[in-house]
C-alpha cells in the first residue's frame, strides 16, 4: 500500500501544479523561520544551492514530525546572482531595482525538493536553471511593471516567466518546472521508486 503523501506547503500554486500532474496528497503548513535558517546558512557559508536544499529539507522535516507514517514533500527556491541571494521584492520600487540589477546578467534559480518520513529525510534534490536577462530599456521596464502590477511581488525574481515576464529574457538554460520552482521530473522518478506512483 502506497504511503500517504503530504505537501509541506500552503502555496496554491504548488498545490495546483502537483494536482495537474495527477498526484493525490494533503497539505500542511511547515512551521519554520526561513530567515533564521538563512542567517544560519550564511554563517556556515552555504552556497545558494545548499541553502535551497536546506530550506526544502527543513520544511519537509517540520511537517513530518507531526505526520507519522506519511511521506512529506518540502521544497523551496533560492535565486542568486553569483553568491548574492535575492528575496521576493517588498514593493514595486524594490522590484524595479532588483530587475535593473539583473539586466544583462545570468542568474541561477536553485529549486529544491525533499521527501521525509517519520522525521528523517529519505531523498533530496536540487535542480538549477540559468536565466539570462536581456539588456532591456527602462521604458520597457516601467511599462512591464505597470502592466503586471503587484502580482510579481509573489515571485522571488520579480518576474513570472509563465506570463509577460518571458519578455525579460534573452536565454534560459533549464527545464520549465525547475524555473517555476517545482522540478517535477526527478520528483516523479523518485515517487515511482517508492511505489507512490505506478512505474
Packing angle between helix 48-64 and helix 34-43, nearest 10 degrees?
140
DSSP state of 167: G
* 195 conformational bin, left if phi > 0, alpha if psi -120 to 50, beta if neither: left
* SS3 per residue for 120-156: EEEEEEEEEEEEEECCCCHHHHHHHHHHHHHHHHHCC
Question: Looking at 76, 118, 175, 195, which residue is catalytic?
Answer: 76
Asked whether the beta carbons of 25 and 51 are under 8 A apart, the reply is no
Active site residue 76: yes
Asked whether the beta carbons of 128 and 119 are under 8 A apart, the reply is no
Would you please indicate which residues are annotated as catalytic (active-site) residues?
76
Amino acid at each position: 500500500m502506497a504511503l500517504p503523501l503530504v505537501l509541506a506547503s500552503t502555496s496554491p500554486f504548488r498545490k495546483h501544479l502537483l494536482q495537474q500532474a495527477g498526484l493525490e496528497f494533503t497539505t500542511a503548513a511547515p512551521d519554520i523561520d526561513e530567515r533564521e535558517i538563512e542567517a544560519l546558512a550564511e554563517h556556515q557559508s552555504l552556497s545558494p544551492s545548499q541553502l535551497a536544499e536546506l530550506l526544502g529539507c527543513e520544511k519537509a522535516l517540520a511537517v513530518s514530525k507531526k505526520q507519522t507514517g506519511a511521506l512529506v514533500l518540502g521544497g523551496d527556491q533560492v535565486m542568486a546572482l553569483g553568491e548574492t541571494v535575492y528575496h521576493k521584492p517588498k514593493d514595486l520600487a524594490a522590484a524595479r531595482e532588483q530587475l535593473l540589477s539583473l539586466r544583462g546578467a545570468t542568474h541561477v534559480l536553485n529549486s529544491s525538493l525533499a521527501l521525509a518520513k517519520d522525521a528523517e529525510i529519505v531523498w533530496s534534490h536540487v535542480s538549477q536553471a540559468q536565466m539570462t536577462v536581456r539588456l532591456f530599456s527602462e521604458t520597457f521596464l516601467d511599462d512591464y511593471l505597470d502592466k503586471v502590477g503587484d502580482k510579481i511581488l509573489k515571485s522571488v525574481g520579480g518576474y513570472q516567466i509563465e506570463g509577460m515576464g518571458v519578455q525579460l529574457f534573452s536565454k534560459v538554460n533549464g527545464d520549465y518546472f525547475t524555473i517555476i520552482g517545482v522540478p517535477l521530473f526527478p520528483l516523479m522518478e523518485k515517487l515511482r521508486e517508492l511505489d507512490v506512483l505506478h512505474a
